[in-house]
Copies of this chain bind each other. A is one copy, B any other.
Amino acid sequence: METPYTLWSRDELRRPGSPPRYTGEQTKEIAFPLGGIGTGCVSLTGMGGLRDWEIFNRPNKGSVMPYTFAALWVRQGGHEPITRVVQGPAQPPYSGQGVSSYQGFGFGVERMNGSGLPPMRSVAFGGAFPIAEVVFSDPGLPVQVTLEAYSPFIPLNPDDSGLPIAVLNYRVHNQTDAPLEVALAFSLFNPLGYPGKGAFTGAHLGQNRNAYHDDGLVRGLAMSTGKVAPDDPAYGTMALMTTWTETFHQCCWLRGGWFDALHDFWDHFSREGSVPARELGPTDEGASDVGTLGLRAMIQPGEVVTLPILLAWHFPTFQKYWGGSAGCDGCGCERSRWRNYYASQWEDATEVAHYYAANQERLYGGTRAFAETLLESTLPDHVLDALSSQASILHSPTVLRLEDGTFYGFEGCHGDAGCCEGSCTHVWNYAQTVAYLFPSLERSLREADYFYNQRPDGHMAFRLQLPLGSPMWDFHAAADGQLGGILKVYRDWRLCGDDAWLRRLWPKVVKALEYAWEQWDPDRDGVITGVQHNTYDIEFVGPNTMIGSFYLGALRAAECMATHLGDTERAALYREVYERGRQATEELFNGEYYVQQCPDDPALKYQYGEGCLSDQLIGQWFAHLVGLGHILDPDHVRSAMQAIFHHNWRTDFWDHANPQRIYALNDEQGLLLCSWPRGNRPRFPFVYSDEVWCGIEYQVASHLIYEGFVDEGLAVVKGIRARHDGRRRNPWNEFECGSHYARSLASWSVLLALSGVEVDAPNLRVSFAPKLEADPFGCFWSSASGWGSYRQSGEGWAEIRVEQGNLTLGTLGLGRLRGDSARAVLDGVAVSAQIRPMDQGCEIGIEPEIVINAGQVLRVTLAS
């Protein structure tokens, strides 16, 4: 078996650490999303500027808003002032990009972001989602400048994590022994009326107005439009605010031809460290203004000041720009519209900025607590990187929140549109982050699925149509999505323990399983047959374990739920079918891995047959996630997982012939979707078979770890993240069929596997079973009621800390730890604890159960 050590040492795979800092060429592809859940975002570039204005209710890759950048002016005593755009230098190529008139390729470097003005000499881009930190270096400057950029992101608090705001804290450190006068000028174009994609200038502009606002808490420019009606999807407001009190502003840059406006701004600011006040009223038809907000400070020797910029937006009306509305072909008739959930929280962008400022301590504190709790883990750097970076999908335009707060996801993003609508059940099967960080949002996905997307016969339309209540999509059910949904209900109920919620969904779950029987297991022998549409956008035909393992997992999950709800008859039936299926499914094991039993029809395309499919045990992976253990022969499962790594993992792709889409190539590492180690590759195997998908890699990595192949799993994760090194691809954008692809939210399952965490809320039980030797081992945990950190040591102790929310605990499972007696202390007070030995480690019974509140730690000490 080819091991990861041919490429990386065990130490490189396992060493705890922090996510990478990016410098030089590695900053080129960086775009770090700033915005809330369901608000769209604007991205911080590797230079430290802003790009990809996806705040207008749709993706908008590559967009650069005119003249929107920060500049810093510094003067020391009698010296000449020095002025810099607070961005690193533009990087090659310098020819310009894209096809357009008088810009793009053949017209030179993009100038609208300030690239022609003196930049900082270099940048180092660090931090981890949700907080980015850009360190600027310039030998000519007497100050060191660092930008901390973030938007609130606090587990279990989706509303505060859904603020349409980007917070930019510029920290300026006086490195001289004399006081310095500094001014930070942040300029922003008023784009209101913008249709969401295409050029920022044009006929959509006019009657744009930038007005000065000061409510005592925040001050700056309030941007509005008089041209667009409030119910128009292009309507909205923006705000460029600060809580800093020493300010200056210019509502409107010079209105002139050619390059006059930027010329005038720079000449004034670089000379005087200020720009004269100018307010000209609404703009002419087709025109808009840039406005500048300036922050002034004297900085004493050695002192650091933090100059905060708040960039808020508010585009209340979402228009469904894809597909058709019911009875409409999208042309000449009204498209469906609804209000963004966030628009029900705040009236306009200025109110958003005010809310942020009023709650800054909580919002910043909660966000930083999450970031620090996650990073304090003893997990390897590349794993932490995978966890945190992919959580950024929640701040990307891949996700929406509908008017009632329901969470909705595309699969990913086209350049200027969502890519593949409808919270697609099979792609979102892989995603775990939302369930663990924002479980109420994940439950809203379940509710939407079962209440809006299931036909009376149980057929789940796997793409939810908007607005909610629209006619369902008329297509096959997706076998993986239909069956995965049952496992997801089980997971979400276990995390929250809300029986009422489960009871509401239960009849729908029963229907879903009955539909599966009708379609794919009419004889209820537990073996999947028939035509199975799935996440590869084709139909598998005949028994296979990709769908089959989902089926067995779903049967087991349904059995557990039925038992809990007292539906013993159904529980027994599900168990019976499962048992039959488990045995029959083993016939697909070829001695090394599980294959597909394909009908012998040469006209049948797009199967995998005797191939070694990376997803062949996805249902087993999910079963581990939800504590169902092995649903197939453990030895076979382990053999198959080894086979997947052995046959599908590539340490390079030089000799790999891939006529399909290219997500890994040349000298990169990655896991193929499939291979045919024993020959008999079909003439036309399933259509993505030669590709590499991050989401499947995370699924397999997590599962490898569950099965004990820790280094193999870590190698897969390291390979993914090495492909997203800032030069090859954006670390904060793992794409598949489009950017910010939801399948990568499977990365959270690597944390679950490495920590072995299980939250069984109905039974007040939480357990850990770390797979790494670090001592003490530390990790992040979360349930639907609270989150925090966990640590345990081979010296015989464990600590569970609640950072926010609370945790009601009756049993604490401690993998890898043993003892004869246990002492449990909650914030200095002993609690009653009984130790019970388990197969691996032990379990601490706490009776009566305790509630650990925010800031409290439960410490358990074992003695032999």
Contact = CB atoms under 8 A, between A and B. Distances in A.
Contacts of A101: 414, 417
A266 B98 CA distance: 31
Contacts of A97: 97
A662 B109 contact: yes
A452 interface: no
Interface stretch (A170-178, A553-561, A732-740, A796-804): A732-740
A537 to B, nearest CB: 9
A236 to B, nearest CB: 22
Nearest to A61: B105
B256 A684 contact: yes
Nearest to A111: B662
Contacts of A662: 90, 94, 108-111, 115-116
A415 interface: yes
Contact of A105 (B62, B111, B654, B684): B62
B737 A107 contact: yes
Given A92-B727, A95-B730, A659 B106 contact: no
Contact of A727 (B83, B93, B727, B730): B93
Contact of A657 (B118, B654, B666): B118
A729 interface: yes
B654 A118 contact: yes
Contacts of A107: 661, 735, 737-738
A729 B659 contact: no
A94 B729 contact: yes
A133 to B, nearest CB: 23
A854 interface: no
A116 B665 contact: yes
A727 B28 CA distance: 14
B659 A99 contact: no
A10 interface: no
Contacts of A140: 654-655
A735 B99 contact: no
Interface in A612-660: 654-660
A302 interface: no
Contact of A739 (B105, B260, B413, B723): B105
Interface residues of A, number: 79
Interface in A559-615: 605-606
A525 interface: no
Contact of A262 (B260, B659, B735): B659
A410 to B, nearest CB: 11
Given A106-B413, A266-B659, A95 B733 contact: yes
Contacts of A417: 101
Given A415-B99, A661-B111, A93 B28 contact: yes
A100 interface: yes
A29 B655 CA distance: 25
A415 B109 contact: no
Nearest to A735: B106
A411 to B, nearest CB: 11
Interface in A327-352: none
B730 A115 contact: no
A116 B59 CA distance: 27
Contacts of A158: none
Given A62-B105, A100-B415, A660-B111, A728 B116 contact: no
A539 to B, nearest CB: 13
A677 interface: no
A98 B104 CA distance: 11
A129 to B, nearest CB: 18
Number of copies: 2
Contacts of A258: 606, 684, 687
Interface string A398-429: 00000000000000111111010000000000
Interface in A73-91: 83, 89-90
Nearest to A88: B666
Nearest to A270: B657
A678 interface: no
Contacts of A266: 657, 659
B737 A99 contact: no
Nearest to A121: B654
A651 to B, nearest CB: 15
Contacts of A28: 93
A741 to B, nearest CB: 8
A89 B666 contact: yes
B29 A93 contact: yes
Nearest to A256: B684
Contacts of A774: none
A89 B661 CA distance: 15
Given A29-B93, A97-B97, A117-B657, A263 B684 contact: yes
A256 B834 CA distance: 66
B104 A415 contact: yes
A526 B662 CA distance: 66
Nearest to A667: B89
A813 interface: no
A163 to B, nearest CB: 25
A735 to B, nearest CB: 4
A166 to B, nearest CB: 21
A119 interface: yes
Contacts of A115: 662, 665
A244 interface: no
Contacts of A413: 106
Given A99-B415, A654-B121, A655-B118, A665 B738 contact: no
A760 to B, nearest CB: 38
A656 B739 contact: no
A29 B654 contact: no
Interface in A707-731: 723, 727-730
A199 to B, nearest CB: 12
B738 A106 contact: yes
Contacts of A666: 89-90, 119
Contact of A61 (B99, B108, B416): B99
B108 A661 contact: yes
B95 A735 contact: yes
Given A111-B662, A665-B109, A728 B29 contact: no
B738 A116 contact: no
Contacts of A61: 99, 105-106
Interface string A415-447: 111010000000000000000000000000000
Interface centre among A106, A684, A737 (most CB of B within 10 A): A106
11 contacts: A94-B728, A94-B729, A95-B729, A106-B733, A106-B740, A108-B662, A117-B659, A119-B654, A119-B666, A259-B659, A260-B684
Given A93-B728, A106-B414, A106-B415, 15 more contacts: A61-B99, A83-B657, A89-B665, A90-B666, A92-B728, A92-B729, A94-B723, A95-B730, A98-B98, A102-B737, A104-B415, A106-B413, A111-B661, A259-B660, A267-B683
